[in-house]
Every structure is written in structure tokens, then in C-alpha cells.
Amino acid sequence: MKRGRTLRVLSLASLALATLAAAVWFYLPAAAQGPTGPIKIGVLYDLTGPFAAAGAVPGSIGTKIAFDMVNEKGGVLGKHKIQTVAGDSQSKPDVAINEAERLLNVEKVDILLGIYSSAIAVPLAEKVDKQNRLLWITIAIADGVFKGRDLKYTFRAQPPGSQFGQLSTRFIADYAQERFKMKPEDVKGAIIYEDGPYGSGVAASGEAEMKKIGMKLVLKEGYSANTPDLASLVTKLKAARPDVLFHTGYNPDITLFLRQAKELGLRVKAIVGHGAGYGQYDKLREALREDVDHIFNVDPVASQLLDPKNYKPAELGKIRDEFLARYKKETGVDQIPPHASMGFNNTWILLTDVLPRAIQKHGGWSPEAIQKAALETDIPEGGTIQGYGVKFAGPGHEMRGQSLRASLVIMQYIGGKTQIVYPKAISTASPVLPLPATSPYAAR
């Protein structure tokens, strides 16, 4: 009797256990899965128009490679595939805003990613944030995107424009004594820039830094990137006689300026460019041959120049090499521009750091979940393929949404190769400074 009751209790208990197990089996995976379906990302770059060849297209290819590499492994966390919808902002802010509207409200993407031009990013960020939608900026650098706006859903791991002018000025000040035999205060600098938010932002930061160091600013002048003529600006520069020329521009204007500067006999000790057109070494060399040698460029580093030994974790080196190999295969270029790394790296950070945490910890990929996950991002220096770390400024910060760990380098085109020359700690070559006599721009 006693045995029979025990058996009955046991069988009831096992039935209950089995039911519980079944329930757990049915429920648990669903709970861990969170939202289902693919993650839909709208990708917005200038695929046509003048910005396309000034870095927007290389950036878009870098981004595409990041998506491909993640999707081939099953998607984010190995199971959430990414579905992209491309938009073309045509190098025009009004078109960009319409395209963003289409991607967000017709295509109903979860995230809007990309943006090359600051002229587009500045108006767009505010509009997207007002709709409580997520904007992940990969390339545009202007401070104006974030400064004093308290944007909740816009993020950028890329360094801000103010760092560009600062770094180039400090670089010249650091080397003034050794290479020019001059005190930094005696160096005469001239700043010329395209007059959109990108150029004027970089120019303003350079001017502020020069003031701080006490360097002499002999000319500061903007021009429209579409201008058909820069001869009078060159003549004016000749009258101002700067030692160093700090230039920020896109592409047709940089080529035009360097050509006219050569024809009209502008002579300086150094030319320092700040990204965009100056990052496109292949294009500059095509137009100007070896005249572009020894020109400096301030940019987030082109990842192929970094020593993979400094990456933490070490597997980043493999990821970087895979990206570089794919980029070369896709484009056939010899010198991979920094914009390709920016497009890849800043997308990679979203896909492999922010989104996994948003899904696992905050329940999915809603703007709310992603912004929470982004604010928890804490990548140390050496943790991305461009070497910098990532830590986004949070609520209450003047630059909320901007990464505070982003950093830049100064590269120089030496003998057909790009080298890192500053900061000294990670340089691959010593800067050639002042311009050697072989340069048509060299002071005599």
C-alpha cells in the first residue's frame, strides 16, 4: 500500500516536473530572444554629388563591409540579421532631410546610420532627435552637431571638429623650435577653409589654439567649396607670408587651390590639411602628382597604418585585416583612405558593442534601449581598429552623445606612402618638416 502511494506521488511529481520543464523550454528561449525579425538600418551617405569622391563613397563601402562581416556570422549576437536600406543624400542637405524622412517613416528603419557631411549632420541630427529616433553618425565631425543641443538619441564615436584645429596647431608648435628654429610664438600661420560648418568649425578651433599658444595668425579666410577661382586668395596669402598654411576643404577646391598656389608661386614651410579632400591621397596624387608629397593631413587614423600589437583585444588585428582585404578587393585602390576606416569602425562599434548590450540588457533595439546601451559603452584606448576608445558623453554634458575618447593623428605623404608623424608616441616616421626643396610649395 505504502509503496503504491509512493509510486503515485512520484509519478505525479514527475508529471509536474515535466510540465514545468516543458513550460520552461517553451518560455525561456522566447524571453531570451526579445524582439524578433531583422534589425533594420537606414544607411545615408552622399553617393553622388561633390562629396561622394571626397570620402563619402569610401565611407559607405567601409560601412557595407561591417554589415557583411556581421551578417555572415548570423547577425548581431549571431542571430539578429541586419537588413539595410540605402539612401543617397546627393551632397545636399535638403535631399538628406527628405531621404532621412523616407528611411525613418516610410521604410520604418530602427536606426539611421552614416552621414558624411557636417552641413548635413547639423540640421539632420536635431530633426531626427525630435522624432525620438536613433541617429548613429559615422563621419561628419562638426561640433555644432552636438554642442549645447542635449540630443538624446544621436551618437558619434568619431572625433569632433574642434580636435582637428587643436592638434594641427600643437603639432607645429611642438616642432617649431627643432625644425624652424623659431619660438612657437614667432611662427606665422594662415587659416583658409571652405565656409560650411565643417571648414569653419575646424578653422575656429585652430584660431583658438593659435591664440592660446601665442602663434601669429596672419590671414583667416573662408571660401565657397564650389568656387571657380582661388587665385586672389593665393595672391593674398603671398602678401601675408605665412610660415604654415592650415587648410580645410573638400575635393575640387583643394585640387584647384594647390594648382593655383603652385602656378602663382606660393611658398610656405608646411601645408597642413584637415581631413575630407586631404584624406584622399589617391585622388590628390592623380591630379597633382608628387606635388602632394609632404603635405600633412589631420584625420582619425587610416587603420592600416596602426601596429596591430597595440590592439586590445588582439583579435581586432584580424578583423582589421579582413576589412582591409575586402576593401581592396572591392575598390582596387592602392592607398585606402581614412574615410573607409571611419565608415567601417564606427559601424562596427554599433554592431558589436552597443547593439548586443541593448538586446541582452535592455530588451531589444528600440531607440531607448540603444541609447541606454550606448551610454554604458566603455571601450578603452586600443579597443577599436582606429586605435581610439569609446565613451559617450551623457546627460548634462555640453557635447552629449559625442565620444570623449576619440583621437586623431597627423599623417604625412612621404615618398608615395602615408605615414603617421604625430603624436610622437604612435608615429611611424619622423615628419619631413619644413617642406623639402623638391616641393613646389617649399619656401626658398
91/303 with CB nearer another protein = 91
Sign of CA dihedral 360, 43, 45, 288: positive
The only residue of 138, 154, 251, 386 in contact with another protein, by rule CB under 8 A: 251
* Interaction of residue 93 with another protein, rule CB under 8 A: no
Bridging pattern class, strands 296-299 and 409-414: antiparallel
* φ, ψ of residue 275 in degrees (nearest 5): 70, -160
- The CA-atom distances, in angstroms, between 11 and each of 1, 7, 14 are 15, 6, 5
* Interaction of residue 191 with another protein, rule CB under 8 A: no
Q: Which of 367, 331, 330, 329 is nearest to 350 (CA)?
A: 367
CB of 389 to another protein, least distance (A): 34
* Interaction of residue 64 with another protein, rule CB under 8 A: no
CB of 61 to another protein, least distance (A): 12
* Interaction of residue 52 with another protein, rule CB under 8 A: yes
Q: How many residues bind another protein (CB under 8 A)?
A: 40
* Interaction of residue 398 with another protein, rule CB under 8 A: no
In which residue are the cell numbers 576606416 written? 341
- The CA-atom distances, in angstroms, between 418 and each of 100, 126, 254, 280, 438 are 35, 36, 18, 11, 18
* Interaction of residue 330 with another protein, rule CB under 8 A: no
* Interaction of residue 427 with another protein, rule CB under 8 A: no
* Interaction of residue 443 with another protein, rule CB under 8 A: no
* Interaction of residue 268 with another protein, rule CB under 8 A: no
* Interaction of residue 229 with another protein, rule CB under 8 A: yes
Q: Which of 407, 179, 410, 368 is nearest to 278 (CA)?
A: 410
> What is the rounded CA–CA span in Å between residue 322 and residue 62?
11
Within 273-302, the residues that bind another protein by CB under 8 A are 283, 286-289
114/367 with CB nearer another protein = 114
282/398 with CB nearer another protein = 282
The only residue of 43, 47, 301, 358 in contact with another protein, by rule CB under 8 A: 47
Residue 88 forms beta bridges with which residues?
45
The only residue of 154, 169, 248, 255 in contact with another protein, by rule CB under 8 A: 255
The only residue of 42, 50, 249, 300 in contact with another protein, by rule CB under 8 A: 50
Sign of CA dihedral 247, 404, 67, 116: negative
* φ, ψ of residue 27 in degrees (nearest 5): -85, -40
**Which of the ranges 11-19, 41-49, 124-132, 207-215 carries the binding residues for another protein, by CB under 8 A?**
41-49
Q: Exposed (0-12), middle (13-18) or buried (19+): which is 123, by Cβ within 10 Å? A: middle
Q: Which of 174, 176, 190, 140 is nearest to 300 (CA)?
A: 140
* Interaction of residue 322 with another protein, rule CB under 8 A: no
92/133 with CB nearer another protein = 92
46/209 with CB nearer another protein = 46
> What is the rounded CA–CA span in Å between residue 437 and residue 432?
11
* Interaction of residue 331 with another protein, rule CB under 8 A: no
238/372 with CB nearer another protein = 238
Residue 111 forms beta bridges with which residues?
41, 134
CB of 407 to another protein, least distance (A): 29
**Which of the ranges 58-66, 257-265, 306-314, 372-380 carries the binding residues for another protein, by CB under 8 A?**
257-265
252/356 with CB nearer another protein = 252
* Interaction of residue 77 with another protein, rule CB under 8 A: no
Q: Exposed (0-12), middle (13-18) or buried (19+): which is 412, by Cβ within 10 Å? A: buried
290/307 with CB nearer another protein = 290
Residues that bind another protein (CB under 8 A): 47-50, 52-53, 57, 91, 195, 221-224, 226-233, 235-236, 238-239, 251-252, 255-256, 259-260, 262-265, 283, 286-289
